[in-house]
Amino acid sequence: MAYLYSSYPRDRVNVILEHMDGRTFFETAKNILNCNDSLCFQRIPYALIINKGDRTIDYDFSMKIFRSKINDLLIVHSESDHYPVHIEESYFMSAFPKDEIDRIIAFFNSKDKV
């Protein structure tokens, strides 16, 4: 059924269905369907963590949309999985070098003071 409603290629839909749990899938769908805009973004700072090799997203499209729709944006290039199997501190410590984690923390900390 998901193939009928998605403009994504079939293999990308397969990756999403294989890795996303039902609750997350339906919560995400609910947020998208309740949004009156084609893409909803709150007026808050965003950190986009993006992997050029991620098969579940269109990298170029994502970069274009985030850059055009969000004024306060930090872009972090990563080779992390879109849907990590084990969401644990050790995974994130191996997926993100300490300097990147420090950069993300500094970005959000600077927003608290504005």
- pLDDT category of residue 114 using cuts at 50, 70 and 90: low
Q: Where are the domains of the chain?
A: 1-40, 41-114
Looking at residue 22, what is its pLDDT? 74
| Rounded (10°) CA dihedral 30, 47, 64, 5 | -20
Residue 84 contacts residue 24 (beta carbons within 8 Å) = no
Cross-strand partners of 74:
47
Instruction: Tell me what the mean pLDDT of segment 17-25 comes to.
Output: 73
- CB of 43 closer than 8 Å to CB of 70: no
Tokens at residue 78, please? 């990563």
pLDDT in tens, 35-76: 666 666 777 889 999 999 887 788 999 999 999 988 899 999
Phi, psi (deg, nearest 5) at residue 16: -60, -50
DSSP summary character for residue 74:
E
Contact 50, 62 (CB under 8 A): yes
Name residues whose C-beta falls within 8 Å of residue 35's C-beta, 6 or more positions apart in sequence. none
pLDDT band at 3 (very low <50, low <70, confident <90, very high): low
Whole-number pLDDT of residue 67: 92
Task: Please give the pLDDT value at position 111.
Answer: 81
